Structure 1
């Protein structure tokens, strides 16, 4: 009996190739989106971690310094200690290769005589003269794969730029390590002698850090800390990786959640397919029950069909996800480079865990979506299973109960979203609860609206209008699923679209108020959002005195450890005579500025910093300075949309009191009255000459460049939005096709009683248009609710920003148009097929 039932299932699936193919496509697309995002973001983070691990080598701790690193004397003193640990000096920075690809590489300056306990890049072969690192200035070695991609051979010159300054490096040897992890790290690495790296990076007499191997554990670490000079700090290497992971966690979590929306829409498709399979064979299933097939066997048949579809669709989704990931990894890498840190991803990492997770999601979602249809098939008594009207009566009677359940789920979801916590999981649970609760309301609302629409449609289109409206209610078990799938997909586009537009509007208004100067000058920075490069000494004073400049301010951006976490510190020299345009979330502006100007122990923090670390005005922060750790008082919390990680700001006078650094990362120049800004930009560029490559931009150009970075960071979000729409369209196409095709006998009766092909076409088109209109109307309030959750809950908990939700009429209008177009396109084939069908053939019993 089981073999006969299995053959029957396969024959049924093969007899409906289009619906089966659409179901497989929906499952595959849902799985592919999740897998591709996971693989792409994981590959980017893994590439950074592997490079960091290889560069750190076997070090257990690192000795770091202040703004400009450590003096070389710290390493010398360390080696002279009686209990000196294994130690290796390191100079590290980034250089950008000149040429078409502008590839960024890490320059690593090492002392070969101290490297043995830490790193070994020599395993494998080497082409060229490695010893030239010690004998020839400006010499580097690099990986053979990197050299091939750059078109470089041993002995060639490699031109690079560092913060706008051009340097030429000579490649003396090419390395081919035998270990894959080392080979991957070398794909973004240049190795040089300490003195060469110091010269190229402008760190003469300084070290970036000293790598240590402390075999005595915490006791040795504590003893070493007690003897460190002011400004030096001992940190564990394991903590660095955790900081990077935490930095990008919210970004990657949001991408994963958006990708799961596509899978949720795909679940509607699977549910619809299995429901259609059960409804279409209801008579046959009833006859099987009548001849002795048990409920359990029918339940197993339907679940088996779903599992087969899930296996095939998920396997295709895994392959499609790998292909999509190879394209998405570039977008994600560019976003990480714009926002967080420099990372080079040269290949996609296929992690077994990600593939297993995709397999589990695909199969789990398929089986979950098929449970209700399988239960319906098994529970129906044979006599009722033989009547098609039974399932519709059940659906209409169940609609009010589902609506009540939906309201309960919505109430629970609202309570979960209102729960005061920074955790993201409750927020996403509440978000998906809103989607589920709204979907359960669809059958009851649809029945009420279509009954109300029958009369006006009849007045406009005659009997065909009334038949189109009543046909929706008559097939409520089918139409409700199609409407829910389309509603969720369109609402997702509304919610994400409003979130992006609100975010963009908030950032644009913030830039308008924050960028008050007329001209901004800064050296090129590898990470678009972190302008931590420096002007060459003396250039800032030279540019400040440019004719036509009335006043000027400056900013210095450095990385310091605050409460043992790496943080961006901004030291601002405000232009005299001009308003300070910062807006405060905590603290009155007058009081905040008075505290900052009167004390060298006060600073202000950005809203994301305060949110993520639970810091408020009046609290104290321990900041690593060149004079040692010092406690600063938080005078206020200011709004800032430049960094989701958070920043700390202090006046330049306070900064110079605690730090020896006198560098300048950027200048803001105010034009004198009557001075043409474009002319002043040209004059500043001429005055800078060829001393250093600089970005000299007028106010409007800088705002435009900042918004371009913003738009790039949301490119991946828009791609996910389009993919979710694609999955939904496949679902709607499948649902409407199955809805119309299962009504073949009904349409054949109408044709036999005199309905023309054109009238039938019009009725089917009118019905699908009504479904599209209803889906569009349903999606607007749901989309607004999703936008509110995304803006005020998820973005707040993810990034710590306070955003203003702006309802753009264009986004809402696009949702209605999208729903109508999707439904109209999905109804074309059924309408064409039904209009061309032979009534006599369609009236025959199967």
Structure 2
């Protein structure tokens, strides 16, 4: 503590800028990582809470294997002794006329029909089935049983006009949509998208489904084995645990959250190099003082511990500030985007979700990471101070020889990294092997920097010989290891920035090409109404005929979206039926074998190939969920699907209609006739369909897709910029450390006759060699990392393949910025070092 007070603290007090820079580096890294973790946790908590509100808390959910349940099924179920409570449910999606949802489209409200008496009975028994859906009314039970009364949640009440007592909604019908009028009743606390709860008898009558049920939420007697009970049910029933949407969302977004978290840690990783540069600079400036205290009796171990203490103090201060800033960043993001991160519309519980999740353990983890990064960064300067010979340093003989890995070790690390990149993902879709490969490539590239500097130095021998070139060549050859240390931060930051730039550019370019293939028509029309499963309701047949006969339309192509249950896994997946010859099927694999005569051809997306093992030529069984028909399918190819991360299938529309008997059409693609304008066609479609249809031009869908893409990667670009800025600060500090450590060398060269101008030229040559080596190594490593991101991480994490695209202008800017930072920092630091009088600098050796 005495040494700290009399030796370290005065140095920090006299030059606080570099210390503050190191603290900021640790702070930003910890803040970004911790803030991203809190954001992920808040989003998952919101979806889990929404799922509990809609699905309740039953032991099992009973559905019919085909078609719908009936009131007779409810009676039979209640007569089973193991059942203590059963809540029948019917659902529908209604259009809210006059309200606009995301993207300017019509807003739908989720309507749920429940038996309020069954809910009250389950609550009285101590096992509430759906507490967040139980209406809260002021008029007691009578208010629950009022005719055609809807109880709304907060999201729906926000859309009500002030003082409104009734609500008009629109439901899909067999021939045409129909409006229903409901009285506004009490409240439900389920807080998600707009939602309303009705008495089940009213709901069945209003929905046109008398005697029909969608599901029955079942509560079993204590001690009953739910799995065994479900196995003994009649074949027409299917009982499963309630759908955990929160867990499903966690699985679906795991890859995104892991990648985002690792990207946030990138700033901390590069920040550790800045801490290293700051401590190296301080070590270089105070080397005579370190030697002096060594001569006065301070042991090498004590000097080593003191440098580590400096790193620890920087880490502790930066970590504490970073954790606080991380909470602030997360709170600000939740305030802007809502507690569900803008996916459904903001709710008012952002702070609650943020602080109700576990905070202590994550704070300790990210705090430990920040402290560890600072301590690891302090190891090299600490070892340098520990290894010095104090008497030799006081005589001006400088630092001990640097230790470095041989070039073959760097090549071995590169080879091992390339081998690990081919490993399959673990823990679902997490490409652990690819991440390890990227780390090994970075370490291998750092190990090869000295060899690269020496190779570039050898090029100087081909230039006309003079004193400056000779000095630059010899010093660059001798100090190649120091170049690795000084360029480590910018090399890592540049490599990661290049990798992310190439990956994002490749993804965006591939998305543009995919949109051109997936959206071949000029205008897309679908119903603004939704079925109970939230899929678009069928368009009325009369409207379909009228749309296809419009003079503005050259041709049309219908499309149907259905749900299919794969027999092998029991998983419900999306099935799209459309005219395959009309385009829109960007294939990445095609099967040219012989098709089985009784099998229907289907095309699967990459997620189906990777997750479910559906390969071209494979025969599988599927069951239409809505119709209950069994289908024999054969995979004809694999198509690229940037709209999903889960399994989806395509089928020819004619095959689907023959197999299912479904003649409805949910969406219609329209190609304009020659000379017809898009706006005139829109007006004609709107005249026929009114508010019951939604339209989107291909250009609008492309623009919306690109907007979503850019928004999704905005935080990625920001994190990348922060990491690059930290790396550039690191190289500036490192070059300053080297230049200031050479004051006496510059003084000696001045005594030997070199002018300041010549010394600046010498520094320019040396900095150009080192900066060029760092830029070349960073670019090469970045391209290698981008190949892993494009060809390994994205296919394994998201099941999206893409072609590599090199944004040359952006890459040139990144490389030029890194080179300019290295050269400019060296020249500025050299000018400062040369400002010291040569005689005074050399006199320090006496």
Q: TM-score, normalised by structure 2?
A: 0.83
Q: Does 1:544 align with 2:543?
A: no
- Choose from 531, 534, 539 the match for 2:537: 534
Q: Does 1:446 align with 2:453?
A: yes
Using the TM superposition, name which of 374-383 and 827-836 deviates more: 827-836
- Choose from 129, 132, 137 the match for 1:118: 129
Q: Judging changes above 3 Å, is the alpha-carbon distance between structure 1 residues 125 and 165 closer, same or farther for their aligned structure 2 residues?
A: closer
- How far apart in 1 are the matches of 2:168 and 2:470? 75
CA contact (8 A) 1:491 1:815 kept: no
SS of residue in 2 equivalent to 1:554? strand
Cα offset for 1:244? 2.2
What is the match of residue 806 of structure 1? 805
Q: Judging changes above 3 Å, is the alpha-carbon distance between structure 1 residues 199 and 37 closer, same or farther for their aligned structure 2 residues?
A: farther
1:212-245 per-position Cα deviation (integer Å, ceiling 9, x unaligned): 2234777554444554565x53221365543222
1:433-458 per-position Cα deviation (integer Å, ceiling 9, x unaligned): 111111121233224324534875x8
- How far apart in 2 are the matches of 1:332 and 1:652? 39
What is the match of residue 24 of structure 2? 25
Cα offset for 1:844? 7.1
What is the match of residue 325 of structure 1? 330
1:56-113 per-position Cα deviation (integer Å, ceiling 9, x unaligned): 3332222346798756664455335555452223455778987798699765543321
Q: Judging changes above 3 Å, is the alpha-carbon distance between structure 1 residues 326 and 557 closer, same or farther for their aligned structure 2 residues?
A: farther
1:362-761 correspondence to structure 2 within 5 Å: 362-384=370-392, 386=394, 389-391=397-399, 394-395=401-402, 398-399=403-404, 401-421=405-425, 423-450=430-457, 452-453=459-460, 476=480, 478-523=482-527, 532-538=535-541, 539-562=543-566, 563-564=568-569, 566-574=571-579, 578=582, 581-583=585-587, 585-588=589-592, 591=594, 599=598, 603-617=602-616, 618-623=618-623, 625-626=625-626, 628=628, 630=630, 632-641=632-641, 642-653=643-654, 655-656=656-657, 664-671=665-672, 674=674, 676=676, 678=678, 681-682=681-682, 684-697=684-697, 699-747=698-746
Q: Does 1:791 align with 2:790?
A: yes
Cα offset for 1:721? 1.7
Aligned-residue RMSD, C-alpha? 4.3
- How far apart in 2 are the matches of 1:750 and 1:165? 93
- How far apart in 2 are the matches of 1:363 and 1:96? 54
Using the TM superposition, name which of 312-321 and 677-686 deviates more: 677-686
Cα offset for 1:801? 2.5
Q: Judging changes above 3 Å, is the alpha-carbon distance between structure 1 residues 625 and 92 closer, same or farther for their aligned structure 2 residues?
A: closer
Q: Judging changes above 3 Å, is the alpha-carbon distance between structure 1 residues 552 and 100 closer, same or farther for their aligned structure 2 residues?
A: closer
Q: Does 1:361 align with 2:369?
A: yes
CA contact (8 A) 2:43 2:339 kept: no
1:239-284 per-position Cα deviation (integer Å, ceiling 9, x unaligned): 5543222111111111122222222211211222233333333333
Cα offset for 1:600? 6.1
- How far apart in 2 are the matches of 1:285 and 1:532? 73
The number of residues matched between the two structures is 814
Cα offset for 1:36? 1.9
SS of residue in 1 equivalent to 2:62? strand
Cα offset for 1:825? 6.1
CA contact (8 A) 2:42 2:339 kept: no
Q: Judging changes above 3 Å, is the alpha-carbon distance between structure 1 residues 218 and 365 closer, same or farther for their aligned structure 2 residues?
A: farther
Cα offset for 1:787? 0.9
Q: Does 1:310 align with 2:309?
A: no
SS of residue in 2 equivalent to 1:186? coil
Q: TM-score, normalised by structure 1?
A: 0.83
Using the TM superposition, name which of 789-798 and 269-278 deviates more: 269-278
SS of residue in 1 equivalent to 2:377? helix
- How far apart in 2 are the matches of 1:322 and 1:502? 33
Q: Does 1:234 align with 2:239?
A: yes
SS of residue in 2 equivalent to 1:517? coil
Q: Does 1:211 align with 2:222?
A: no
Q: Judging changes above 3 Å, is the alpha-carbon distance between structure 1 residues 442 and 208 closer, same or farther for their aligned structure 2 residues?
A: farther
- How far apart in 1 are the matches of 2:83 and 2:614? 39
SS of residue in 2 equivalent to 1:520? strand
SS of residue in 1 equivalent to 2:550? coil
- How far apart in 2 are the matches of 1:174 and 1:802? 47
1:87-143 per-position Cα deviation (integer Å, ceiling 9, x unaligned): 223455778987798699765543321223213349999779896453253532334
SS of residue in 2 equivalent to 1:237? coil
Q: Judging changes above 3 Å, is the alpha-carbon distance between structure 1 residues 133 and 66 closer, same or farther for their aligned structure 2 residues?
A: farther
1:830-845 correspondence to structure 2 within 5 Å: 830=829, 833-834=832-833, 845=844
- How far apart in 2 are the matches of 1:807 and 1:91? 53
Q: Judging changes above 3 Å, is the alpha-carbon distance between structure 1 residues 68 and 638 closer, same or farther for their aligned structure 2 residues?
A: farther
Cα offset for 1:632? 4.0
Q: Judging changes above 3 Å, is the alpha-carbon distance between structure 1 residues 257 and 703 closer, same or farther for their aligned structure 2 residues?
A: same
- How far apart in 1 are the matches of 2:475 and 2:170? 69
What is the match of residue 272 of structure 2? 267
- How far apart in 2 are the matches of 1:376 and 1:586? 60
Q: Judging changes above 3 Å, is the alpha-carbon distance between structure 1 residues 11 and 812 closer, same or farther for their aligned structure 2 residues?
A: same
- How far apart in 1 are the matches of 2:244 and 2:228? 17
SS of residue in 1 equivalent to 2:131? coil
1:176-187 correspondence to structure 2 within 5 Å: 186=191
CA contact (8 A) 1:479 1:739 kept: no
1:454-479 per-position Cα deviation (integer Å, ceiling 9, x unaligned): 875x88xx877776777666665554
Cα offset for 1:26? 1.0
CA contact (8 A) 1:87 1:211 kept: yes
Cα offset for 1:499? 1.2
Cα offset for 1:710? 2.9
Using the TM superposition, name which of 514-523 and 773-782 deviates more: 514-523
- How far apart in 1 are the matches of 2:712 and 2:178? 28
Cα offset for 1:654? 5.1
Cα offset for 1:789? 0.4
Cα offset for 1:314? 0.9
Cα offset for 1:671? 4.2
Cα offset for 1:816? 2.0
**Structure 2 runs not aligned, ≥5 long:** none
- How far apart in 2 are the matches of 1:227 and 1:136? 35
- How far apart in 1 are the matches of 2:182 and 2:757? 76
CA contact (8 A) 1:520 1:696 kept: yes
- How far apart in 1 are the matches of 2:322 and 2:156? 36
- How far apart in 1 are the matches of 2:621 and 2:178? 36
Q: Does 1:347 align with 2:350?
A: yes
What is the match of residue 291 of structure 2? 286
- How far apart in 1 are the matches of 2:306 and 2:535? 63
Cα offset for 1:19? 1.1
Q: Judging changes above 3 Å, is the alpha-carbon distance between structure 1 residues 614 and 379 closer, same or farther for their aligned structure 2 residues?
A: farther
What is the match of residue 12 of structure 1? 11
- How far apart in 1 are the matches of 2:94 and 2:827? 57
Using the TM superposition, name which of 83-92 and 305-314 deviates more: 83-92
What is the match of residue 245 of structure 1? 250
Cα offset for 1:680? 6.4
What is the match of residue 180 of structure 1? none
Cα offset for 1:549? 3.7
Q: Judging changes above 3 Å, is the alpha-carbon distance between structure 1 residues 414 and 747 closer, same or farther for their aligned structure 2 residues?
A: same
Q: Judging changes above 3 Å, is the alpha-carbon distance between structure 1 residues 753 and 713 closer, same or farther for their aligned structure 2 residues?
A: same
SS of residue in 2 equivalent to 1:669? strand
1:768-779 correspondence to structure 2 within 5 Å: 771-779=770-778
